[in-house]
Amino acid sequence: MLKIRTLAVAACAALSPLVTRAAVAEVKLTAAEAHAFLTDAEQELLELGIEAERANWVNATFITDDTDALAARAGERLAVAWARYAKASRRFDGVALSPEDARKLEKLRLGLVAPAPEDPKESEELSLLLTRLQSTYGKGKYTPAGAEGGTPGAAAGATEPLDLTALSNILAESRDAEKLLDAWKGWRTVSPPMRADYARFVTLSNKASREMGFTDTGAMWRAKYDMPADDFAKECDRLWEQVKPLYLKLHAYTRMKLRETYGKAAVPADGPIPAHLLGNMWAQSWENVYPLLAPKGVDPGYDLNAILKEKKLDARAMVKVGEGFFTSLGFAPLPQTFWERSLFVKPKDREVVCHASAWNLDQVDDLRIKMCIQVNAEDFVTIHHELGHNFYQRAGNKLPPFFRDGANDGFHEAIGDAIALSITPSYLKKLGFIEKEPDASKDTGLLLNQALQKVSFLPFGLLIDKWRWGVFSGQIPESRYNAAWWDLVRSYQGVAAPVARSEKDFDPGAKYHVSANTPYMRYFLAHILQFQFHRALAKEAGCTQPLHRCSVYGSKAAGAKFAKMLEMGASKPWPDALEALTGQRQMDATAILDYFAPLSAWLDKELAKEPVGWK
């Protein structure tokens, strides 16, 4: 399936108005006609998809009003054609198709993230809305007090407009509660102008989804997982319940330590944690506050941030290290064009979307990543993740276009993260980054740091689309957009806004994936699947150590099994792809529990007298 980053949408009527439904029903179509229809659809949508992806790349790496318009137009052309084919495909309902064509038909019908209304004016409007939402996010800055046009009440002495990267660095590095709060509030001044556009987008997207036979856009999104939409929602809840007890313990420990740092008045003993104290703009991962939480006596003896700088690695060299992991498994190196065309460093002369992403512009081997890389451990891991997308994209490039995607979108996100789980001390030693591995007594600190990245993310990964499903279905009306958002954050994460929020705010829009209309459940699934993949790969590599100490770097056996799954693309239902690697046909969060078992036992001891959960 073609992956389109920003689906600017528009639609035409699928069939001529002169052809009535009754007349269509009387026509007996054949499997051969369906096959010819799908062949035409694949070819046209491939060509339009490449055109749109090139326009999106230029827009994301050079944001101007002109590139906004070009991206919107290219996306509109693609979405018009895709919607036309998707609606026309309903003529073949009931026709006995080959398994391959039946799956192609399904992928065609579910290929749009934002379907297109049949009214041309509405489709054009929706195209412009989506482009404007993403560009508003990409160009967003907070101008503190003191600068021209400064924001009243901002940090004293600050004079330069701050973008998301600068504000995120404050959240990650500062321990001054006032500075943290100012940065947290500052970024959320970017999103209120998006609110009206987003509400209009929901109306138009839902109209188009109903025209395609779905109750709303959220139902269409949930239908993409080889199971009924309602069953998928239940599956997500089942996986969350598997890992929730571990999250509650991590939350309680984090709250206890932050309370020691910021005081009893700032952090309640048995309530939610204030969002601005967790080291991340959205409190979605907490590894940046690890220094405040680190147990005594478990320092592994190395600092990857410091090592990367001592080695004088620049952005390109860090990407080379990431590529080396995949080639050690037996994958071919990235093409030369990857190094010539990727964006590794934020340009000084123009606006770009810094959110890391991986691209395959021609659906064959025009692979690229787009990142504003900083030389730190976080981006070192992110590079491995993004390259995972690239190697997955290339592995299936000989499949029919409709199958050039992940088994499900969670698979695509999990590939690179599974590799990143192999960024262990043994891997760093093989790279020459450290002289020796720390002994097992240091594992608690390493596991805690990993949990602050992975386990802390799980409820956030779930709630983003829980919110959008509610918005699309109408259960969350526009009048409660922000209140419902914070209800979910509190319920799932045990996190609270540090200051009062109102419906004048639009805090969901301060997250890229909401403004860019990118479904988010894929990241929740990826955080489950990556551990399941890692457990299977470690077994294939013959690792006999505890799961958290296993690295598959250099294992051709693990690489061969990995490649077998990647090469399947989306040609088979995801349980088939999962079984090819893991031997299991159901997503299973017990691999997370296996990985963090030593940490879980340690947390039990630390929390003997502490409340777990929140009011």
Q: Is 412 a catalytic residue?
A: no
Per-residue model confidence as pLDDT tens digits over 421-466: 999 999 999 999 999 998 888 899 989 999 999 999 999 999 999 9
pLDDT band at 145 (very low <50, low <70, confident <90, very high): low
Rg of the chain over all Cα atoms, to the nearest angstrom: 24
Q: What is the pLDDT of residue 114?
A: 81
Q: Is 173 a catalytic residue?
A: no
CB-based contacts of 234, cutoff 8 Å, min separation 6: none
Per-residue model confidence as pLDDT tens digits over 563-588: 999 999 999 999 999 999 999 999 99
Q: Which of 33, 513, 567, 610 is catalytic?
A: 513
Percentage of the chain with pLDDT > 90? 81
Q: What is the pLDDT of residue 27?
A: 63
Read off the pLDDT of each residue in 18-39 and give the average, rounded to a whole number: 71
Question: Is 90 exceeded by the pLDDT of residue 265?
Answer: yes
User: Tokens standing for 527?
Assistant: 């955080």
Average predicted confidence (pLDDT) for the chain: 91
Higher pLDDT, 19 or 302: 302
β-sheet bridge partners, residue 145:
147
pLDDT band at 170 (very low <50, low <70, confident <90, very high): very high
Higher pLDDT, 358 or 299: 358
Torsion angle in degrees (nearest 10) through CA of 465, 469, 472, 473: -170
Q: What is the pLDDT of residue 83?
A: 83
Question: Is 50 exceeded by the pLDDT of residue 151?
Answer: no
Q: What is the pLDDT of residue 89?
A: 92
Q: What is the pLDDT of residue 118?
A: 85
Read off the pLDDT of each residue in 273-282 and give the average, rounded to a whole number: 98
Contact criterion met (CB below 8 Å) for 236 and 242: no
Residues 121-140: b if buried by 16+ CB within 10 A, e if exposed: ebbbbbbbbbbbbbbbbbeb
Question: Is 80 exceeded by the pLDDT of residue 215?
Answer: yes
Higher pLDDT, 2 or 131: 131
pLDDT band at 237 (very low <50, low <70, confident <90, very high): very high
Please give the DSSP secondary-structure letter assigned to residue 571.
S
Q: Which of 122, 124, 386, 540 is catalytic?
A: 386
pLDDT band at 113 (very low <50, low <70, confident <90, very high): confident
How many Å apart are CA 117 and CA 541, to the nearest integer? 50
Alpha helices in 396-520 (DSSP H): 409-420, 425-431, 443-454, 458-473, 481-488, 512-515
User: Tokens standing for 333?
Assistant: 């190196």
Contact criterion met (CB below 8 Å) for 118 and 166: no
Read off the pLDDT of each residue in 6-10 and give the average, rounded to a whole number: 35
Per-residue model confidence as pLDDT tens digits over 486-529: 999 999 999 999 999 999 999 999 999 999 999 999 999 999 99
Question: Is 60 exceeded by the pLDDT of residue 163?
Answer: yes
Q: What is the pLDDT of residue 153?
A: 41
Q: What is the pLDDT of residue 143?
A: 85
Q: What is the pLDDT of residue 18?
A: 31
Q: What is the pLDDT of residue 599?
A: 96
β-sheet bridge partners, residue 496:
274
Read off the pLDDT of each residue in 158-187 and give the average, rounded to a whole number: 92
